[in-house]
Amino acid sequence: MKLRYTTLKGLLGKTRQFNLNNFMNKRIHHKDKGHINITLSKDLNKEIEDLFINFLGISNLNKHNFEGIFDRLIISKRSLNVEYIAGQDYPSELRFIKKLLK
């Protein structure tokens, strides 16, 4: 099953959390259908890509090797902006992220 989304609110309304890994793999955990593949309209794809690029301060998502830690980069349902969910070792995680982005 593959569902198509055209708005960010529509997409976020169908999943508990949408992170960078979901965006890169075009796969979410849908509230009613479980794990499914998704397609995004061209405009929505660009909107989400721009949110992550602006948050990370990079020019292109494709040239970076994103590690599992980037599962912690989510789009907030409240603000519709990217947020970082801190883990147990927040200072170490920030150093790791900064190193990956250099």
pLDDT tens figures, 55-94:
888 787 776 666 677 788 899 999 999 998 887 787 887 7
Both tokens of residue 101?
Answer: 């982005």
d(CA 93, CA 91): 5
To 10 degrees, the CA torsion angle through 74, 100, 38, 80?
Answer: 30
Return the bridge partners of 82, or none. Answer: 75
To 10 degrees, the CA torsion angle through 41, 45, 47, 50?
Answer: -160
For the chain, the structural domain boundaries read 2-101
**Which pTM value belongs to this model?**
0.84
Q: Residue 43 is which amino acid?
A: D
d(CA 84, CA 25): 19
